[in-house]
Amino acid sequence: MNRKVKWIQILLFCLSYLFLTGCWDYKDVEDLHMIIGQSIDLAEPIEQEKDMIHRDWLQLTVQSVKPKGLSGQQNAGATMQKPYENLTSIGNSAIQTFNNIYSKTEHPFLSYHLKAVVLGEKLVKKVNMQKLLIEYSRAPEIRGSLLVFIGKGKAKDILEASNPTEVPIIKLIGLSQNHSVSTRIPPEMNLTQVEAKLASQSNLLLQTVEAKNKRMIIANGAIINGKTGKLVGFLNRKEIEGLNWLTSRAEVGVVKAIDTEKNKIVGYYFKNAKSKIRPHIQGDKVSFDVNIESNGSLEEDWFIPGDAFDNKFLHHAERLIEKQIKYIVMKTIHKLQKDYHTDVAGFGEQLRIEYPKEWKKMKSNWDQHFSQAPIKVNVKITITDYETKGTKMKKK
């Protein structure tokens, strides 16, 4: 009996210890700042510290969600409050800038839910991205799935939404995923992918977000030079479409072509597209053939009268679509070769795979070789469906 009493006493002691100490650091979720997004911009130095350290100054904006705002727990008749809060700080290092934000709030921060960071256009033109992202890669609470964006203009503006019920970062993540249904949006890239590209000094293309008339849009693609880690320039939506055709990332979309002689429109809808980049070496010169193939449906045509089952008509429509896609792709190649002298389409990667010895010779100065390489584009389109079935009525 004494032994049983002893074990009961020990059990009660353990339970009381767990109860009293297990929640000693408990904090109500409403008293926590759950950070879900950040932006970093180039900033003017603080006047009293302008000559302290001669380096670039950063403006960090942190976006945290408000649990009450997200759940709709607001008093009836009260003014609608934003479900998020932005705090901004300025400093001459990332860690100092973040620590300065602590002076603006009484609540602790949680970074485990950080989902996206937006880097300002002016900042990335001046500062190597590796320096800006190193703190994120070293922090154990930051996940490699953190999405990285370039902000057109001020990145801070992206973290403000015109709709008071929206959380800007959550909306941004939703917009970034639309690349699966549009050929004019580049795929999103996370922290792990960006760091791998920069570590290998490979060029990369990042989604560019812009706050236009208080409306958030994925506007362009930002070209980052792998060697310098800096922003080179932008591709517009049409050029991104060409790049997606080049890299087999054109998963689904629509192509509109115009018969200039008859002033008629043809609309082509596709769900798959394949491209193959084939390098050729002759002496110390390199050239490429790009072969693009796609199957899809005739979604729209303004040829009246016309017959959707007529082979001659279908072949004509296919040639119009092929011509349009080739034009889009060649415009993109010209922009990469002649304006930016930067390969983000994977030409160098294909050369490395098929001609590893030659690649070693060209690797250190590849962008210059790429800028001078002749590139031939071939497009093969096959219309397999006509959407609205049947023969059109012909005019009498």
Q: How many domains does the chain have?
A: 1
Identify the three-state secondary structure at position 2.
helix
φ/ψ of residue 103, rounded to 5: -75, -5
Q: Kind of pairing, strands 33-43 and 109-110?
A: parallel
How far is 67 from 154, CA to CA, in rounded Å?
Answer: 27
Quote the Cα angle for 287-290-292, to 5°.
175
- Bridge partners for 231 per DSSP: 224
Which residue in the block uniquely carries the two structure tokens 């290998």?
200
For residue 68, give the nearest of 101, 32, 102, 37 by alpha carbon: 32
Q: Kind of pairing, strands 264-282 and 204-212?
A: unpaired
Over its C-alpha atoms, the chain yields an Rg (Å, rounded) of: 28
Domain contains 185: no
φ/ψ of residue 211, rounded to 5: -95, 100
Burial class (CB in 10 A: 0-12, 13-18, 19+), 121: buried
φ/ψ of residue 202, rounded to 5: -95, 140
How far is 329 from 163, CA to CA, in rounded Å?
Answer: 37
Domain contains 229: no
Token output for 128: 């190597």
Token output for 257: 């072509």
Q: Please report, in tens digits, the pLDDT of each residue of the chain (396 residues total).
A: 566 555 555 565 555 554 555 454 545 555 566 899 999 999 876 654 555 555 678 999 999 987 665 555 555 545 567 889 899 988 887 777 777 776 776 666 777 889 999 999 999 999 999 999 988 888 888 899 999 999 999 999 999 866 778 899 999 999 999 887 888 899 999 999 999 999 999 999 999 999 888 789 997 899 999 999 999 999 999 999 999 999 988 878 889 888 877 777 888 889 888 999 999 999 889 999 999 999 998 876 655 555 555 678 788 889 999 999 999 999 999 999 999 999 999 999 999 999 999 999 999 999 999 999 999 999 999 988 776 554 444 444
| Domain span holding position 318 | 238-396
For residue 187, cis peptide bond before it (omega within 30 degrees of 0): no
Sign of CA dihedral 272, 273, 276, 277: negative
What letter would DSSP give residue 225?
-
- Bridge partners for 255 per DSSP: 268
Residue 392: per-residue pLDDT: 46
Residue 8: per-residue pLDDT: 58
For residue 45, give the nearest of 32, 34, 54 by alpha carbon: 54
For residue 225, give the nearest of 199, 246, 198 by alpha carbon: 198
What letter would DSSP give residue 190?
B
How far is 228 from 373, CA to CA, in rounded Å?
Answer: 23
Q: Which amino acid is at 86?
A: N
Domain contains 257: yes
Identify the three-state secondary structure at position 83.
coil
Q: Which CATH number do you get for residue 342?
A: 3.30.300.210
- Please tell me the total number of residues recorded for the chain in this structure: 396
Residue 221: per-residue pLDDT: 96
What letter would DSSP give residue 149?
E
Contact 175, 117 (CB under 8 A): no
Domain contains 128: no
Domain contains 91: no
What letter would DSSP give residue 162?
S
Residue 188: per-residue pLDDT: 94
First CA to last CA across the chain, in angstroms? 110
Token output for 330: 């060649």
Cβ neighbour number for residue 123 with a 10 Å cutoff: 24
- Helical (H) or strand (E) element with 212: strand 204-212
Domain contains 296: yes
φ/ψ of residue 308, rounded to 5: -70, -15
Domain contains 339: yes
Domain contains 267: yes
